[in-house]
Amino acid sequence: MENDGKIPSHVAIIMDGNGRWAKKRGMERVEGHRAGAVAVKNLVENLKGKGIRYLTLYAFSTENWKRSKEEVDALMELLCEFIDANLDLIVEKEIRLLVMGRMHGMPENVQKKLRNAIQATSKNKGETLIFALNYGGRAEIADAARQIAKDVLKGKVKSDDIDEALFSRYLYLPDVPDPDLLIRTSGELRLSNFLLWSLSYSEIYVTDILWPDFDIAELDKAIDDFQKRNRRYGGR
């Protein structure tokens, strides 16, 4: 299966380097996250017409709770501010917002804001923007396995019928195709528990650019690189 210069339909991004961006400027880590939120807004503003159908952003992992209360609170606050400041823009751009992760573990006020934004954008026919929040790849697989086990006990699923296709239907967003391209900023060569099931055949692009400096030109570079890849999915 050749790539044929195609645009990746689903791009997933590990937005890393906010802390280092701030440190380089003698600023607090929170200021790095604030600049990171501006980078997210700029992508949202310029996504239209690129051909990308799904953009998944790793905004808060199940491991991020280990950070200081101050930083966690600031990230939750920034997320709320982002929705408040940009919901109109998201609607205007016809973007549909979705979230993936253990939503019930998020603060109630954040859940409410997200539910409202998801509802307000649910009919939009443009790109789908997905925030991975309180998300862990292993948690997603464990949650799917638990639900399948319940459905087996209820007689809704036969254990012999459990295969990759059935398992995929129990993921957080079963209707979203696997990412074609994974981008990680700030140079780290790790998956950090992101989309472990769905990234199986994704192309990986790592850039040294820190997340707050990642803009549409950097996204174009990643797409150019993707277009040079020859995706074989394990075949020849």
**Rounded Cα gap, residues 60 and 67, in angstroms:** 11
- Whether residue 212 contacts residue 39, with contact meaning beta carbons closer than 8 Å, is answered with yes
Q: Does 79 sit near ligand FPP (CB under 6 A)?
A: yes
SS3 state at 216: helix
Q: Does 31 sit near ligand FPP (CB under 6 A)?
A: no
Positions in 118-157 near ligand FPP (CB under 6 A): 131
Min dist CB 16 to ligand FPP, Å, is: 5
By beta carbon distance, the residue nearest ligand FPP is: 19
Q: Which is nearer to ligand FPP, 74 or 181 (CB)?
A: 74
**Rounded Cα gap, residues 117 and 129, in angstroms:** 11
- Whether residue 194 contacts residue 14, with contact meaning beta carbons closer than 8 Å, is answered with yes
Q: How many CB atoms lie within 10 A of CB 220?
A: 12
Binding test (CB under 6 A) with ligand FPP, winner from 16, 127, 180, 203: 16
C-alpha neighbours within 13 Å on the C-beta side of residue 178: 15
**Rounded Cα gap, residues 153 and 80, in angstroms:** 39
Q: Which is nearer to ligand FPP, 78 or 152 (CB)?
A: 78
Q: Which is nearer to ligand FPP, 78 or 166 (CB)?
A: 78
**Rounded Cα gap, residues 66 and 72, in angstroms:** 8
Q: Does 33 sit near ligand FPP (CB under 6 A)?
A: yes
16 catalytic? Reply is yes
46 catalytic? Reply is no
| Partners of 206 in beta bridges | 184
Binding test (CB under 6 A) with ligand FPP, winner from 11, 13, 15, 90: 15
Positions in 195-224 near ligand FPP (CB under 6 A): 211
Q: Does 20 sit near ligand FPP (CB under 6 A)?
A: yes
**Rounded Cα gap, residues 31 and 135, in angstroms:** 23
Q: Does 17 sit near ligand FPP (CB under 6 A)?
A: yes
CA 83 to chain centre: 16
Q: Does 37 sit near ligand FPP (CB under 6 A)?
A: yes
Q: Does 117 sit near ligand FPP (CB under 6 A)?
A: no
Min dist CB 84 to ligand FPP, Å, is: 11
**Rounded Cα gap, residues 132 and 55, in angstroms:** 10
Please give the positions annotated as active site: 16, 64
Q: Report the interface residues with ligand FPP, using CB under 6 A.
A: 15-20, 33, 36-37, 40, 57, 59, 64, 78-79, 82, 131, 186, 211
